[in-house]
């Protein structure tokens, strides 16, 4: 019988906050027993029970199976890269397991000595570890956020189940970066269950709550040094599928607010020659769950033709280059592209002291996998490969509410060179017809999954192909106190206030008349795209009686024109105009009585008609009169 060889293995299993790093540790007393992945397999059944204060009671049931007749396990180790582990205990089939723990810097190492050692080929031992992880869930504004990183262990994992149980006081499920296999919503708890697929990711991030609110306050210096007046186009937060904007104050009022081809809201200010103004813009952004049933304005709706620009090559995004095309064919979908970008490259920590790093572009990065990347580099590379794979992808520059600059760095490269702003990407889902967020930089630095779902810690400010509109953000970077953002819990009404007026030329039987519907948005909230319907009594519309309207932007005024005709040639009639504006956010109705003059009444149209007839008659008889003379 071969001699048994003892293995002392510390298998690392990590459940902690987003900033945790897995530290696998192993001690082996024989070279023959060094390949743990070939000697043991395991199954995991793990439950995180979140408490109302954000702590998590962790129960970890583990089954270890021996695949060797020469080696066995007597101790199990758990390294949690957090100093907030408390109340550690364990048990196996023979009773209580002796456990110990010690802190090393920001980590906690838990050692469990098994009563029932895993001895013998095919032998399995089941044991349970329990501990409390302080502050696993944190409340950010109105949203509870919990990040459960993936496990890292040296043995083969044959089955894995993760349950996250949250109290109902956390609210509804807002978003998850991985779709759970099962959801159970009870009276007191909500349970999400995940399976082995989670091992292929960086873990799962779950948000609870109904919506998030972020306030913003901009004081932007606009200086015109030219001899002539100059127009400044200032990006302001725009409405998207998940972001609803309320502009509370704008001093001075811009000349106009308009929507560009990328979906940006731009406020246009005119500054006189050799003058300076400070544009003060204050408001709120409400971030909603796109599956909640609440409707966002969506700003711009993109057609297939308009989406093409987000699949094309642009500066620093070399879509057609062979190296980029090869990666796109190899990786196939956005999740694999995300994993490649976040796991292959490293963030350049030198940005903490030097902001002047040039923007090199996706081709240069993929050609050198030892490259250290900025946030802009991560975004350029992801954008290039994603577009090469045929997926519409746009870059986003915005503002984040981040308290951890080390794990969640902010930076936008040339021409801005600033840490005041952050950049990420959005990919268009053709099936859902929505954009979803991807942050490849934080996916690399924060040890958490920043793919998909709705990010609740940021405001989208500018959408771009890669360089479009960057110069318009310069005013956001000039002064350290130009921009203020933070969470807000004060209740606000995000319902637009729209007034409607009907202006109809005096209709006359037989003559077309102009009908104008005048809409005015009197609040800093956009009205989502809607339908305008016209119903008439004793009148008819020349052409279509219904028009589809694009979103009515904050403080926008718009006139919609129709042509109508009708009436009685020999007598006056009473008519009525009924107008109905129907949208997902609001329905407005208005009607107006009108008098329709007969053809033979005395009015401008009739006088004009008589004049025309007289001229025609004179034109017909005048030549004959002059010939007779």
Neighbours of 596 (CB within 10 A): 24
Top-ranked range on mean pLDDT: pick from 134-148, 167-181, 268-282, 413-427: 268-282
Neighbours of 196 (CB within 10 A): 15
Rounded to 10°, the helix 322-331/375-388 angle is 70
Q: How confident is the model over 93-150, as pLDDT tens digits?
A: 899 999 999 888 767 888 889 898 877 888 888 999 999 999 999 999 999 999 887 6
What average pLDDT does range 527-532 have in this prediction?
89
Torsion, Cα of 451, 454, 456, 459 (10° steps): 90
Q: Give the residue carrying structure tokens 């919990």.
A: 146
The rounded distance, in Å, linking the Cα atoms of 89 and 97 is 7
What average pLDDT does range 213-223 have in this prediction?
95
CB contact at 8 A, 281 and 238? no
Neighbours of 238 (CB within 10 A): 28
Q: Which of 16-30, 322-336, 528-542 has the lowest mean pLDDT?
A: 16-30
- Which residues have CB under 8 Å from 101's CB, separation 6+? 85, 88, 108, 109, 110, 111
pLDDT attached to residue 15 = 34
Domain ranges within the chain, ordered by starting residue:
5-208, 213-487, 498-599
CB contact at 8 A, 241 and 298? yes
pLDDT attached to residue 4 = 38
Band (pLDDT 50/70/90 cuts) for residue 296 is: low
* % of residues, the chain, pLDDT over 90: 52
pLDDT attached to residue 600 = 53
**What values do phi and psi take at 424, rounded to 5?**
-150, -165
Domain covering 213-487, topology: C8orf32 fold (3.10.620)
pLDDT attached to residue 3 = 34
What average pLDDT does range 43-68 have in this prediction?
92
Residue 268 has pLDDT above 60, yes or no: yes
The rounded distance, in Å, linking the Cα atoms of 34 and 13 is 19
What is the greatest pairwise CA distance in the chain? 143
Band (pLDDT 50/70/90 cuts) for residue 603 is: low
The rounded distance, in Å, linking the Cα atoms of 587 and 594 is 23
Residue 236 has pLDDT above 50, yes or no: yes
Q: What is the DSSP letter of 310?
A: G
Rounded to 10°, the helix 334-344/375-388 angle is 150
Q: Which of 143-152, 318-327, 422-431 has the lowest mean pLDDT?
A: 143-152
What average pLDDT does range 615-619 have in this prediction?
69
Residue 387 tokens, joined: 């577009």
Instruction: For the chain, state the CA radius of gyration.
Output: 33
Q: For 5-208, which CATH class?
A: mainly beta
What average pLDDT does range 586-599 have in this prediction?
82
The rounded distance, in Å, linking the Cα atoms of 412 and 469 is 13
pLDDT attached to residue 604 = 53
CA angle, residues 284, 243, 376, in degrees to nearest 5: 100
What average pLDDT does range 289-305 have in this prediction?
71
pLDDT attached to residue 586 = 80
Cα–Cα nearest to 215, from 233, 237, 242: 237
DSSP symbols for 449-515: --BSS--SSEEEEEEESSSTTGGGGGGGTSSTTSEEEEE--S-------EEEEEEE---BTTS-EEE
pLDDT attached to residue 486 = 94
Residue 18 has pLDDT above 60, yes or no: no
Cα–Cα nearest to 575, from 520, 502, 517: 502
Helix/strand/coil for 516? strand
Residue 29 has pLDDT above 50, yes or no: no
Top-ranked range on mean pLDDT: pick from 26-40, 60-74, 83-97: 83-97
Residue 441 has pLDDT above 70, yes or no: yes
Residue 11 has pLDDT above 60, yes or no: no
Question: 587 has which bridge partners?
Answer: 582
Band (pLDDT 50/70/90 cuts) for residue 5 is: very low
Residue 447 tokens, joined: 């040890």
| pTM of the full structure | 0.82
Average pLDDT, the chain: 84
What average pLDDT does range 182-201 have in this prediction?
88
Band (pLDDT 50/70/90 cuts) for residue 171 is: very high
Altogether, the residues listed in the chain come to a count of: 629
Q: H or E element: which one contains 413?
A: none
| Domain range 498-599, its CATH number among 3.40.190.10, 3.40.50.970, 3.40.50.300, 2.60.40.10 | 2.60.40.10
DSSP symbols for 426-438: EEEETTTTEEEEE
Instruction: Establish whether domains 5-208 and 498-599 are of one fold.
Output: yes
Neighbours of 586 (CB within 10 A): 15
Band (pLDDT 50/70/90 cuts) for residue 295 is: low
* % of residues, the chain, pLDDT over 70: 84
Residue 599 has pLDDT above 70, yes or no: no
Top-ranked range on mean pLDDT: pick from 114-128, 194-208, 606-620: 114-128
């Amino acid at each position: 019988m071969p001699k048994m060889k003892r293995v002392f293995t510390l298998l690392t299993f990590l459940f902690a906050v987003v900033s945790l790093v897995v530290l696998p540790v192993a001690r082996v007393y024989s070279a023959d027993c060094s390949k743990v992945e070939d000697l043991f397999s395991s199954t995991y059944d793990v439950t995180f029970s979140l408490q109302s204060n954000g702590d998590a009671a962790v129960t970890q049931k583990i089954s270890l199976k021996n695949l060797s007749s020469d080696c066995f396990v007597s101790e199990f180790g758990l390294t949690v890269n957090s100093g907030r582990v408390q109340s550690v205990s364990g048990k196996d089939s023979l009773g209580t397991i002796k456990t110990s723990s010690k802190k090393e810097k920001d980590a906690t190492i838990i050692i469990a000595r098994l009563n029932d050692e895993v001895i013998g080929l095919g032998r399995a031992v089941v044991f349970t570890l329990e501990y409390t992880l302080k502050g696993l869930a944190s409340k950010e504004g109105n949203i509870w956020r919990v990040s459960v990183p993936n496990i890292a262990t040296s043995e083969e994992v044959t089955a894995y189940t993760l349950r996250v149980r949250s109290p109902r006081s956390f609210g509804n499920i807002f978003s998850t970066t991985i779709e759970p296999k099962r959801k159970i919503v009870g009276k007191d708890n909500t349970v999400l269950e995940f399976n082995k697929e989670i091992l292929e990711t960086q873990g799962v991030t779950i948000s609870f709550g109904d919506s998030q609110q972020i306030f913003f306050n901009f004081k932007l210096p606009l200086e015109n040094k030219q001899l002539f007046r100059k127009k400044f186009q200032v990006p302001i937060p725009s409405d998207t599928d998940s972001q609803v904007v309320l502009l509370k104050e704008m001093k001075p009022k811009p000349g106009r607010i308009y929507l560009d081809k990328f979906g940006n809201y731009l406020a246009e200010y005119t500054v006189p020659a050799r003058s300076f103004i400070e544009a003060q813009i204050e408001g709120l952004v409400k971030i909603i769950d796109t599956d909640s049933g609440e409707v966002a304005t969506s700003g711009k709706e993109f057609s297939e033709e308009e989406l093409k620009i987000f699949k094309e090559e642009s500066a620093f995004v070399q879509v057609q280059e062979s190296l980029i095309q090869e990666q796109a064919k190899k990786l196939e979908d956005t999740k694999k592209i995300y994993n490649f970008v976040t796991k292959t490259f490293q963030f350049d920590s030198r940005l903490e002291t030097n902001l002047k790093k040039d923007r090199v572009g996706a081709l240069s990065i993929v050609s050198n996998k030892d490259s250290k990347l900025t946030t802009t580099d991560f975004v350029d590379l992801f954008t290039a490969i994603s577009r090469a794979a045929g997926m519409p992808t746009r870059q986003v520059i915005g503002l984040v509410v981040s308290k951890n600059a080390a794990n969640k760095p902010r930076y936008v490269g040339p021409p801005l060179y600033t840490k005041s702003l952050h950049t990420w990407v959005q990919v268009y889902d053709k099936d859902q017809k929505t954009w979803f967020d991807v942050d490849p930089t934080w996916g690399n630095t924060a040890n958490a999954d920043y793919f998909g779902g709705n990010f609740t810690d940021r405001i989208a400010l500018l959408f771009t192909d890669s360089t479009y509109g960057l110069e318009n953000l310069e005013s956001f970077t000039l002064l350290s106190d130009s921009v203020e953002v933070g969470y807000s819990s004060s209740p606000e009404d995000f319902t637009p206030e729209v007034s409607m007026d009907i202006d109809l030329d005096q209709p006359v039987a037989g003559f077309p008349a102009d009908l104008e519907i005048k809409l005015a948005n009197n609040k800093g909230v956009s009205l989502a795209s809607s339908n305008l319907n016209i119903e008439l009594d004793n009148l008819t519309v020349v052409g279509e009686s219904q028009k589809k309207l694009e979103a009515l932007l904050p403080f926008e005024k718009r006139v919609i024109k129709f042509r109508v005709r009708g009436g009685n040639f020999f007598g006056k009639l009473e008519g009525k105009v009924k107008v109905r504006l129907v949208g997902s956010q609001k329905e407005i109705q208005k009607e107006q009585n009108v008098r329709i003059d007969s053809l033979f009444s005395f009015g401008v149209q009739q006088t004009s008609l008589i004049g025309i007839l007289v001229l025609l008659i004179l034109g017909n008889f005048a030549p004959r009169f002059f010939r007779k003379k």
